[in-house]
Structure 1
């Protein structure tokens, strides 16, 4: 499986330091390489640009900006360097770049919004990856002016104001059209608000020896659907060999379990069985007569199941509690979602043969904390969930995370159209169907999450993100599977 290794800001700084101190790559050379590679991407992305505004801070990110200003000047572009922060705080390689820039006749100008408006492209070289507190004062004013300018933005290493570790906006953050990140990809670029702020992301290694990267274990692995490999379905396959997906839910509302069942059917389960309230049977069968719908959960039905998915529309009343109790201690692999998770939060149970699929609210209940705490560090949250509950955890969100106890994986697909009721029910059906067809839980979780989000991207490309219907994922999902 090909993956994109993702790193924290601290790991990136460690790799940078090792490259300088042990591999003998001078820091100033890395700064110049970073600036040159970013300038090449600027020229490729905006070939008609003739005037650029480079907004620089006082740290090494500003040094990258000073160096880029030199390359742009030598290439014949008109360059305005806007300085934010006192120049007496500029040190080390960044100061050298400032002096070299001055030798070309360039000097930093006070920040000015009119200069931004005249630029064809704005280069964000304000803050870099070391930010760990909300942006304030002149830096925040500059970020908000950049965003209000309406000009395209190239961010160096990371959009200023964005946490490189969590993808959270720290007070205010630049919304870039293109981010050129250096040496290693930072995990915060790929999740939560980082997905919106970063725009298109390119990573430049800058010639750092690969063995220095191997000294750090990535905090997460970025996955795409094309990285997942499912076994082909044999030509002699029959429904009995393709697994039985048993889906349980639908107390007061039948819609959630109906979506789950149709997703399981379209994801290739040989048999799709549903246990729901008797009054919902007709509605489900009218939607799809291929479903096998029951109003009781017998021991034989549990024994015959290859995989069980429970939770969509389950409710938290006695009916749902009793159904969950019947399958909690079974050896059959299970997917728990929605109200099954809310009920599980009231227990201290741990198991190795399940996938739990919480959204941030359900994760907060499972951990006994606030949603804000979950979202403040999603990687830490998914690790805590796995340690407490075992199995495989799928923490849904912008950049869904999967933790199997060995690796944390991050789905690189997905879009804002998935922010609608029913999307999680579809995912539960996909996961249950893949497990029923014989995939081990970690592979089913990784493949199912990527399949679900990649199908949503295809659906959004056709229909748009606003008002995307979960059922619109079924056809592109089936196309991707085949």
Structure 2
């Protein structure tokens, strides 16, 4: 994997709901002849091993335990730390008398090893090197209770690294949303099956580096359970086709970018350049007449035309193109509306696959239509307009939003954001690449161009959407690794797209 400040260690590609893991781990353990307390011991060992690996010089740890099995895992970590002669401060939140089953057994083992529970649970001791979060597990759905919220905020303010057990407390592991407060972890060790909410939305700001421990039952669990979604990671790019040694531009596909209204030539340029950088043989750009000169100067390789909205040229270019990209810089005035309507009619007439992005999505929200041979690439605000809800509601459950968009509009939906979600109605994929530097104008135009390029090169619609999203995010990660995240421009990523599409196994 690429090593950037926001990167994650390699993970299994299958993603599950919290309930799938909660119920499935029991059956998997039973099939492996492993009792649940032994599974807890393995979980605590995995967290402790990760802690020592990340912080080999640790001397004093603070462990925060709730009343559930996450708290039990914390007690196991505490006992292991005592056996290594580490100083352990342990906060039991809620009465220890309420601990049950395996959590109670782990508590008793910790006490027998000499562990004690601290009565002070408001101030993190200054000598603490690492905090272990075992407060709340994967069952949380709404806001955390006030005392837990207060405690979580105190821990987050402590300026001490936090290792979370299975999930950062307060995070919804089905949606990736946070309602109220959640632990901001530096590392999260999750078990048996990766919960889908750990890799998208607010989770990307709370899990830190996410690592996986199968506890010896993950293979059986995977056989017994069907993944709810998939996690796209860098090695998926191995399926990108290398260019044949005798190829020519006519075999590499042609992309038509439709957009670039007066004053918005940059968006059309970025999409057109991205299409060429990601392997399309030819690119044509249909823009407002006032935008022609700027794009011609920036990208002489593209065939740039500017004319009235009812131009015969748009029909000729649509017939010529292998795929269309409609929307970058299209605008919301009369010219933009007319061009959008014409382009959509022509793409249907000629049965051309397309990407609809940016202002194309605005016009789609005005004239709703269902179509299968296309990719929609909304950010949360655009998704909210398409569904008639708020962007906050979109981020509350990104998986559900992507499914609803696909059901309403057809084709493939690429719901952009931290942990971009790609959904075709039957399969959902989360992109596990990308970084905060991508939160800048023009990045969506580049993504649209890349996906359109892969469509033009003959990739099926869903595969083009998944690989295009992954190419774009990995290119941004490569740029961040070399130059940093701050100040990253959409145009900075263009040459990295070339590298990602060309190099083999560069992520190793």
Which category describes the TM-score, using the shorter chain as reference length? over 0.9
Give the 5 Å matches for 1:234-253: 234-252=244-262, 253=264
The alpha-carbon deviation at position 320 of structure 1 amounts to: 1.8
> Given the alignment, which residue of 145, 148, 161 partners 1:139?
148
The alpha-carbon deviation at position 17 of structure 1 amounts to: 2.7
Aligned match of 2:241: 231
The alpha-carbon deviation at position 132 of structure 1 amounts to: 1.1
CA distance in 2, matches of 1:214, 1:393: 28
Q: Secondary structure of 2:329's match?
A: coil
Counterpart contact for 1:84–1:111, Cα < 8 Å: no
Q: Which runs of 4+ in 1 moved over 6 A?
A: none
Superposition RMSD in Å: 1.6
Matching of residue 464 in structure 1 with residue 484 in structure 2: yes
The alpha-carbon deviation at position 337 of structure 1 amounts to: 0.4
- Of structures 1 and 2, the one scoring higher in RCO (CA 8 A, sep 6+) is 2
Counterpart contact for 2:28–2:224, Cα < 8 Å: no
CA distance in 2, matches of 1:115, 1:292: 63
Q: Deviations over 1:443-474 (max 9, x none)?
A: 11111100101111111222222221100001
Aligned match of 1:183: 192
CA distance in 2, matches of 1:96, 1:387: 48
Matching of residue 316 in structure 1 with residue 325 in structure 2: no
TM-score normalised per structure 2: 0.92
Aligned match of 1:126: 135
Counterpart contact for 1:273–1:291, Cα < 8 Å: yes
Q: Deviations over 1:12-64 (max 9, x none)?
A: 11112323556543111111110011111111111111211111111111111
> Given the alignment, which residue of 283, 287, 304 partners 1:272?
283
The alpha-carbon deviation at position 418 of structure 1 amounts to: 0.8
Give the 5 Å matches for 1:191-230: 191-208=200-217, 210-228=219-237, 229-230=239-240
The alpha-carbon deviation at position 259 of structure 1 amounts to: 1.1
Counterpart contact for 1:158–1:164, Cα < 8 Å: yes
Counterpart contact for 1:23–1:209, Cα < 8 Å: no
The alpha-carbon deviation at position 136 of structure 1 amounts to: 2.6
CA distance in 2, matches of 1:159, 1:117: 22
Aligned match of 1:262: 273
> Given the alignment, which residue of 177, 181, 186 partners 1:168?
177
CA distance in 1, matches of 2:160, 2:65: 17
CA distance in 1, matches of 2:147, 2:452: 52
Matching of residue 341 in structure 1 with residue 361 in structure 2: yes
CA distance in 1, matches of 2:342, 2:12: 38
> Given the alignment, which residue of 22, 25, 50 partners 1:13?
22
The alpha-carbon deviation at position 105 of structure 1 amounts to: 2.0
CA distance in 1, matches of 2:306, 2:380: 31
CA distance in 2, matches of 1:347, 1:216: 40
Structure 2: any 5+ residue segments left out of the alignment?
A: 1-10, 308-312, 503-508
Structure 1: any 5+ residue segments left out of the alignment?
A: none
| Change over 3 Å in CA distance of 1:11–1:235 after alignment to 2 | same
The count of residues paired between Structure 1 and Structure 2 equals 481
| Change over 3 Å in CA distance of 1:461–1:306 after alignment to 2 | same
> Given the alignment, which residue of 289, 304, 321 partners 2:300?
289
CA distance in 1, matches of 2:63, 2:249: 62
